[in-house]
Chains A and B, each alone.
Chain A
Amino acid sequence: MKIILRIQRFNPETDDAPYYQEYTVSAAPTDRLLDALIHIKRFQDGSLAFRKSCAHGVCGSDAMRINGKDGLACKTLIKEVAEKDGDRITLTPLRHLPVQRDLIVDQDEFFQKYRSIKPFLINDEAVAEGERRQSQEERMRFDDTTNCILCAACYSACPILGENPDFLGPAAVAQAYRFLADTRDRGMAERRPVLDDPNGVWPCRNHFKCTESCPRGILITKRINQTKKMIRKEEKPTDQ
C-alpha cells in the first residue's frame, strides 16, 4: 500500500526552526517502519538523517517518536501504525534531548546520567574459584533489566523529565537496580549519593510511561519503586 511519512526535518546549518516534510512510500503491512525510511533515503531523498543499525530491535539506534509514541522504527511494523492507502505516519525525534538533525538527537546527557550511577559490578572481594556462585532464582530477580539497550525511548516518554530536566531518568535508575539487585554486587554505598538525591530516584511519580514505551519489555516503573525501597532499607529484593 501507499503510505505517507510525515517527518520532522531540521538542519541546524540552514533551518531556523523544525518543519515537516511528507514522503509517499510503497510498503507492505508487514514491512518495518525502518524499511520505509531506508527506502526514502536510498531512492527519494539522501539528505534525510536518522540513525540505524541492527534493524531488529537489539541495538537501540533508531528510537524515535512514532505518531506521538516512543519506540524503535525497526520494531514497529507498518500495519501497527497505518491501516490503509494514504494513511499518514508522523515521525519526530525523541524528546528531552537536543535535536542535532532531523530524527537524530544528542544522547550525551542520557549517557552521562547512565554513567553517573556506576553501571558496573562493584565487588572487590577475591573470587575463590573461577566463577562466583549465584542461583538461577537470584539471577532472575534482575533479569528483565539486563535487556536494556539504552535506546532512550523511556527517557523521551517520561513526563517528569519535561518538568525537571535534571531528573536521572528511568533507564539510569533501572540500570542501578540491575546491579543493586545482583547478589554479587556491593555498590549501594557508592551509588547512594546519586540515587538518594532530589534529582535521583525520588522525582518518579509512577506515570508508567517508561514501562509502556520500553521496546525490551522491562518493568521500569516497578524497578524504580524497588530501588526506592532498597534505598530506604538497604536490602536486596527477594522476589522478581
Chain B
Amino acid sequence: MVHHFDTVIVGSGGAGLYAALEASERSRTAVLSKLYPVRSHTGAAQGGISAALGNVEEDKPEWHAYDTVKGGDYLVDQQAAKILTEEAVQAVYDLENRGLPFNRTPEGRIDQRRFGGHTRNFGEGPVRRACYAADRTGHMILQTLYQQCIKNQVAFFDEFQVVDLIMDGSTCGGVVAVELATGDLHVFGAKAVLFATGGFGRMFKITSNAFANTGDGPAVCARRGIPLMDMEFFQFHPTGILGLGILISEAVRGEGGILRNRDGERFMERYSPTLLDLAPRDIVSRSILTEVRAGKGIRGDRKIDDYVHLDATHLGRETLAAKLPDITSFCKTYLGVDPAEAPIPVLPTAHYAMGGIPTDVHGRVIMDRRGTIVDGLYAAGECACVSVHGANRLGTNSLLDLVVFGRRAGQHIGDYVKQADALPLSKDAPEAAREWIRRLTDGRSGPHGGHIMEEMQTAMMEKVGIYRNAGEMQQAVDAVKDLLARYLAVRVQDRGKQFNTDLLDTIELKSLLDLSLVTAASALNREESRGAHSREDFPDRDDDQWLKHTLAYLEGDDVRIDYKAVDTSIWEPKPRTY
C-alpha cells in the first residue's frame, strides 16, 4: 500500500510528538510508531528537565550552557548548547501551560531540584535547575504531548515498524514500513521524514532501556549511507538496580542520597570533592567501578557484577513518598528493599547514546564533514546527535533535548515542505525491504536470533563498557562481524503474517548488530579518553589529536571513519575537574 503525506514522523516519544504538534499545524503529517504512542521510553525518564527558571535560587541559561559543555568534556557544539539552554526556559513554561503537572514550590511555582553536573556560576557548587513531576517527569511529558496530539487530531499509524529509507541522491522521499497487524509492507511517500526513534541501549546486556530501544532509525540511515556521529560515547548511568539495570534516578542523589562502599565510606569525596555524589555520570560510574575493582564493592570479590550502596535512608519516608515514589516502588517490587529502611544495591547500567544521526540545530540531517544537508531528512531526540551532549550527557538534558529540538525540527519541517516538491516514488521503493523479509520468512530452517542477541549483548557489555582497551574492543568488533555473518542464516520461526512479533524482533536484531559494529569500531578508533569513553591504554584527553567528532559510515560489514570539527566558539577547552 502507498500513502502520501507532506511529513512523516517515525517514533512517538517526546521528540516525535513535539515535532508532530508543530508540523501537523502546517502540513499533512503522519506519525509512525512501532509501539502504541504512550508506550515510548520517554515515559521512563524520571528525574527532571532542566531550565534556568531561577524559581528557587539564582540561575542563568549561560551557566546551564557552560555546565552542558563541560559535562560533555568539550565535545559539545557550543552554539547548539546555547540554543538548548536559552530555549529551555520557554520550553518548560510551554509544557506547564499545556497541562504538565510539575511539583510546586510553596509560592505555587514550578519546583526545582539538584542534578549531577548542574552548577551555579561556572562550577561553584550544585544549583537547583531540574524541574520535575515527582520521579516520573518523562512520563508526564509523554502524556502531556500525547494529550496535545489528541487535541490537535494528529494522525497516528500505531505499530508500524520502519525498515527502509527512500533516497534519491541526497534527497529523502519517504520510508518503507511493516504493519504489525497484517504483515503488509507500506510505502510512505513524504517531502520530509523525521526520525525520532530513541536510543539503542539494548545492544548491552545490562541496560535501563526498553526492549523497544533498538535504534531502528540510525540503523536504517546507516544502511543508506548516512554517517553516524560520536557513537563511541555511550553513557552508563551510575545507579541501575543490581542485576536488572532498571534505572534509579539521579534525583535520589539530587535529594541528598549518598553512594557508599562496603566500609560505609562516602567514596565520591575522593573522586569529586566539590560536587561529591552529584558529579557527572561518567565520573560517578567510573568511580563505582574503581571501588569494585579495588575490592571495596559490597561483596568485595572485585568481580564486574559487584555493586555499591545508594543510601537514601536519611531522606525520610515523607520525601521519598512525595518526590521519589516510583523509585520506592521499584525497589520494593524488584529488590524487596524499602529505601526508607535499607540502602539500595546499585551498579552502572547502559543508559544513553550521546551519538546518533548527525543534525544541525534545525534537526536537518548532515551527511559529511562539510555539513552537507540531506534534503527532507530530519532527526531529533536520542537517535540524533546535534551535538549538545558531546562525550557525556548531563542528567535532565535528554528530556530538554527532545523537547527543544523536536520542536525546532517540527517548525523547520513546516516551512520546508511548503516550498519542496515531492519526489516521484519508484515502483521499486519497497523492493529491498521486501527481499529482506522474504529471506527471513522463506520457510528454510535456520537458527533463531535469540542466541545472537545474547552473544552481542554480552560482548558489548564486557568489551565496550565503562573501561575500554584496544585488545578487547578489537575482540568486540570481530565478534559482532561474526554475528552479522551468522545473522544471514537466521530465519523467523513464526509462519504467520498477522502480529508476527518474531519478524519484528529479528528486524530489530539487525539494527542492534549494525549499531554495535559502528559503536565498537568508533570506540576502537578513538585513541584518547574523553567523557564516557575511557581507555585504559590512552587514559588522557588529547585535544590536539581528538577534539573532533567521529563520523562513522557503515559500508557492508565494515566501518569507514571520518571526522567533523567541534564548535568551541564560546569557551576554550579546559581540564575537567569537579
Contacts and interface: CB of A to CB of B under 8 A. Distances in A.
Chain B interface size range: 35 or more
A141 B351 CA distance: 33
Contacts of B36: 61, 107, 111, 150
Chain A interface size range: 35 or more
Interface string B97-119: 11101111111111100000000
A58 B101 contact: no
A52 B150 CA distance: 24
B39 A56 contact: no
A55 B210 contact: yes
A53 B498 contact: no
A132 B97 contact: yes
Nearest to B503: A46
A240 interface: no
27 contacts: A38-B211, A42-B450, A43-B450, A54-B211, A55-B246, A56-B244, A56-B330, A56-B334, A57-B333, A58-B44, A58-B326, A59-B43, A60-B38, A60-B39, A61-B39, A100-B499, A102-B499, A104-B499, A119-B150, A121-B98, A131-B96, A131-B97, A131-B109, A132-B97, A135-B104, A146-B143, A182-B101
A13 B495 CA distance: 10
Interface in B65-121: 89-90, 92-93, 96-99, 101-111
A107 B139 CA distance: 20
Interface string A1-33: 000000000011110000000000000001010
A90 B39 CA distance: 25
Contacts of A135: 104, 108
Contact of A149 (B109, B139, B329, B492): B139
Interface of A: 11-14, 30, 32, 38, 41-43, 45-47, 49-61, 75, 77, 100-102, 104, 107, 111, 115, 118-121, 127, 130-136, 139, 142-143, 146-150, 179, 182, 184-185, 217
Interface of B: 35-36, 38-41, 43-44, 53, 89-90, 92-93, 96-99, 101-111, 133-134, 136, 139-140, 143, 147-148, 150-151, 181, 210-212, 244, 246, 326, 329-330, 333-334, 336, 448-451, 453-454, 492-502, 505
Given A119-B147, A120-B151, 5 more contacts: A61-B35, A101-B498, A121-B147, A136-B108, A146-B101
A159 B272 CA distance: 57
Given A77-B333, A136-B103, A58 B494 contact: no
A41 B502 contact: yes
Contact of A101 (B39, B110, B151, B496): B496
B457 to A, nearest CB: 12
Contacts of B148: 120
A59 B99 contact: no
A150 B37 CA distance: 11
